[in-house]
Structure 1
Amino acid sequence: MTSAQSPSPLDPVDDLLETLDLQPIGQARIRVDSPEADEPVALGDNAADLFVGRSQPQPHGRVFGGQVLAQCVIAAGRTVADQPGQPARPIHSLHGYFLRAGDSSEPIRFAVERLRDGGSFSARRVHALQHGQVIMSMILSFQLPADGLDHQATMPAAPSPDRLRTAADEVGDIDHPMAQHWAYRRAVDIRHVEGPLYLEPGAQAAAQQNIWMRVTERLPDDPLLHAAVLAYGSDYTLLESVLRRHRLSWADPRIRAASLDHAMWFHRPPRADDWVLYQQESPSASGGRGLGIGKMFAADGTLVATVAQEGMVRVKE
């Protein structure tokens, strides 16, 4: 460990679990102004359930987008799970927009609107708030488990994660706050099949890559938590397929990158503390934006989730 690595009161997994342990803080009324002649506007029950959660400190001072994704999943899921006498409804999709950069030194409030609870599906809208402004807005859907048609994409061939280098192997000896954060402060172990892009471009200008990832310690057996942690990890590397295609690395000082939106579909129950192969590709980059598409496979080949994200990717000359 170098002198640049500052001590933390919690190990990375405990830190993540504490960050996702949102606290309820009451309800807020939703007000909708409309012309008197219009019909009343129904937004769920016209109230929002409020939660608050801490942020994870980041070297650059901006909230990690995956953290907000995961906290939105937890906040929405809590309002689905709190219905007495109702069977569990796991999350099956989320669609969100990153609207502003968050401050990683400040907590975030989450306002959850209960849009609808139908016979099979429950829909929720979540606004993540800091300093009185929305930093992320998301709609999520939860479904009662059901039988139906079943098929999936085939998992690509990939070497065992045990044969690949960790982030600590790659950058752990570099005396820089960001390198130390990548190496030692992330709860998710990320291993690149085609080699990382931390410091240098990839060997080939290919618009695809594969990542093995898992949480470094065993998690509680809570399906909502595992879905949230999978969403958390999904934001780390998806835009790298754009960078790899154009022979760029994260250390390139010309890079200006930020997530714009994020969608995720949960096909089958995931475990975020077992190895997941994250197959990623970028079908397009244009207009200062790049699109990443990802498929997440459990180690036994089961497709557990599909992810899509568009990000701002600019190169300043």
Structure 2
Amino acid sequence: MNEPLANLLAALDLTDTGAQTSEDIFTGPSQWMPLGRVFGGQVLAQSCVAAMRTVPDDRIVHSMHAYFLRPGDVTKPITFGVDRIHDGRSFSTRRTQAYQNGLPILSMIASFQDVDEGLEHQVEMPADLPDPESLPSPLETLEGVDHPVARYWATERPFDMRHVPSPIFLRVDGEHVAHQAVWIKTIGELPDDPNLHRAALAYASDYSILESIFRRHGIAWSTPDLKAASLDHAMWWHRFGRVDEWMLYVQESPSATGGRGLALGRIFDRSGRLLASVAQEGMVRVPLGGRRE
């Protein structure tokens, strides 16, 4: 198994340190990041795993709502405290708090449900988009760029990402619109554990969702003095899908104001099944000279 994917699996393999007072306690490592701050998707996924460890196997996560409270430090492990808020006949609710140095860095509430029958419908996946195999990989896009962040994007992430119409790493090509799509999958196969795939989907959901805000204003990730951070994150799992197979992450931003932007996302498998919906508000601060309306 390649190193980035092995690191992802290691990060999601939490250590159970036992129940203390009213909480179940778990610990997990922090993955290295070039700027020294823990990737938000990592903490989301680990918080989901911690909550999953406290519910029966026949109850699956269907939604979570989280707030990012403080930046995490990649040099330190993370402690996860899970509060068993409620167990009903069909649903269970868990609150997970992620801590470093005794301070919370993320607070999440997740809901779990028994497998049940019900009404079925979904929105359609966008048609006539290029296949992922026809689009350049991050390694191809960033070839020759000698920068720690570029090297991380190109070779050290556990996910392959192919942007439609093009990535915004270095520049924003084409029309400045508040929407985009990204083909995404892990760079290798994962074990068959369904909860692992659900947690990894939460991990990946934080990667590019704010880019629909950036694209609307012609802002590339390389814009000098760009400051962006996730403030909160909500996710709803609709149907099971494997994250080691190509998925289409469709993203749009309905609004940006007051130094914040809202982004919405839908994740489809390649056959068009809607796997999950995502919403995130982020802080986006750009120097006046960095805007390209």
TM category (shorter chain) comes to over 0.9
**1: CA distance between counterparts of 2:206 and 2:284?**
15
**2: CA distance between counterparts of 1:24 and 1:206?**
45
- Aligned counterpart for 1:128 among listed residues 85, 90, 98: 98
**1: CA distance between counterparts of 2:272 and 2:258?**
36
For 2:291, the equivalent position in structure 1 comes to: none
For 1:34, the equivalent position in structure 2 comes to: none
1:1-317 counterparts in 2 under 5 A?
11-29=3-21, 47-81=22-56, 88-157=58-127, 158-317=129-288
After superposition, give the CA deviation of every residue in 1:125-154 in whole Å (9 maximum; x if it has no partner).
000000010000000001101111100000
- The residue type paired with residue 239 of structure 1 is L
* Residue pair 2:2, 2:188 contacting (<8 A) in 1 also: no
- Equivalent residue of 2:123, what SS? coil
* Residue pair 2:41, 2:207 contacting (<8 A) in 1 also: yes
**2: CA distance between counterparts of 1:221 and 1:141?**
22
After superposition, give the CA deviation of every residue in 1:234-277 in whole Å (9 maximum; x if it has no partner).
10100000000000000001311000000000000121111100
Deviation >6 Å, runs of 4+: none
**1: CA distance between counterparts of 2:178 and 2:169?**
17
Unaligned runs of 5+ in 1: 1-8, 30-46, 82-86
- Equivalent residue of 1:146, what SS? coil
- The residue type paired with residue 275 of structure 1 is W
Shift of 1:91: 0.6
* Residue pair 2:79, 2:99 contacting (<8 A) in 1 also: yes
- The residue type paired with residue 252 of structure 1 is T
- Equivalent residue of 1:104, what SS? coil
Shift of 1:28: 2.2
**2: CA distance between counterparts of 1:136 and 1:182?**
24
- The residue type paired with residue 66 of structure 1 is G
Shift of 1:88: 1.0
Shift of 1:216: 1.1
Shift of 1:173: 2.2
**1: CA distance between counterparts of 2:267 and 2:211?**
15
TM-score of the superposed pair, with normalisation by structure 2: 0.96
**2: CA distance between counterparts of 1:270 and 1:75?**
20
- Equivalent residue of 2:53, what SS? helix
- The residue type paired with residue 145 of structure 1 is V
- The residue type paired with residue 92 of structure 1 is H
After superposition, give the CA deviation of every residue in 1:155-183 in whole Å (9 maximum; x if it has no partner).
00211100000000011321111000000
* Residue pair 2:233, 2:279 contacting (<8 A) in 1 also: yes
* Residue pair 2:80, 2:99 contacting (<8 A) in 1 also: yes
Shift of 1:10: 6.3
* Residue pair 1:207, 1:242 contacting (<8 A) in 2 also: yes
TM-score of the superposed pair, with normalisation by structure 1: 0.89
Shift of 1:89: 0.8
Max Rg structure = 1
Shift of 1:299: 0.3
After superposition, give the CA deviation of every residue in 1:261-311 in whole Å (9 maximum; x if it has no partner).
000000001211111000000000001000000000000000000000000
Number of matched pairs: 287
Q: CA RMSD in A?
A: 1.1
Shift of 1:316: 2.5
Percentage of identical aligned residues? 52
Unaligned runs of 5+ in 2: 289-293
* Residue pair 1:90, 1:223 contacting (<8 A) in 2 also: no
**2: CA distance between counterparts of 1:118 and 1:221?**
28
